Amino acid sequence: MYSFLAGPALWATFIVFFGGLFFRIIHLYRLSRKKDSVFYNHADLKWGLKSIVRWIIPWGSASMRQQPVFTFMVFIFHITLLAVPLFLNAHNILWDESWGISLWSLPNGLIDAMTVILLISIVFFVVRRLVRSEVRIITGIWDYILLVLTALPFLTGLLAYHQVGPYDTMMILHLLTAHLILLLIPFTKLAHMMLFFFTRAFIGFELGGRRGARSW
């Protein structure tokens, strides 16, 4: 089972992941050309890039400064979400063995700490959705499911590394949940990992290119 998940299934998952994102972007681009073509009349690279940069800098926008704690947790979440799988030594060894490529690796102790921080941030998001009425009212069961599914690859990986519970079972669960998340990304709101940049650029076009106003 492990060999299948780490081999052929991984290739299939990557094909769906990258292919799904590509076709979703193309579909949304064509849809925007049809229904919101006015945006392209004001396309301005300078304003688009300004909008993107301001929204990837911590507290770079007015709305982020109004919610400093939430903004901090969002950035901590996204940094650890990317850093742990990319810079984990065990992952880099596997990528080097399979494809001859690898990134530099962070110390395992730091990876452990970042994994725990990521899990804490997910708990924070769940609690926030439960206690903040303005967030709870727009939250559906699928939002909670996505948060739990996002946590599972990291939780099972942490448990497997420290050999908490049956190792083989934890590794299979780690791979299964990682595959599931990658397969879901192109078809759910998790696709914002790519669509974010297009959204912020379009808002920059509308407010900056058309009205000369900041979108941040």
Take residue 208 and report the two structure tokens written for it.
């900056």
User: Rg of the chain's alpha carbons, rounded to an integer?
Assistant: 20
For 2-211, give the CATH class: mainly alpha
The answer to whether 148 and 123 have CB atoms below 8 angstroms apart is no
> pTM of the predicted model, to two decimals?
0.89
DSSP reduced 3-state for 180: helix
pLDDT at 216: 75
The answer to whether 13 and 177 have CB atoms below 8 angstroms apart is no
Tens of each residue's pLDDT in the chain, 216 residues: 877 887 788 889 999 999 999 999 999 989 888 887 777 777 778 888 888 998 899 998 888 999 999 999 999 999 999 999 999 999 998 888 877 888 889 999 999 999 999 999 999 999 999 999 999 999 999 999 999 999 999 999 999 999 998 999 999 999 999 999 999 999 999 999 999 998 888 888 877 766 767 777
The answer to whether 181 and 147 have CB atoms below 8 angstroms apart is no
Instruction: Give Cα 56 distance to the centre of its chain.
Output: 13
The answer to whether 88 and 107 have CB atoms below 8 angstroms apart is no
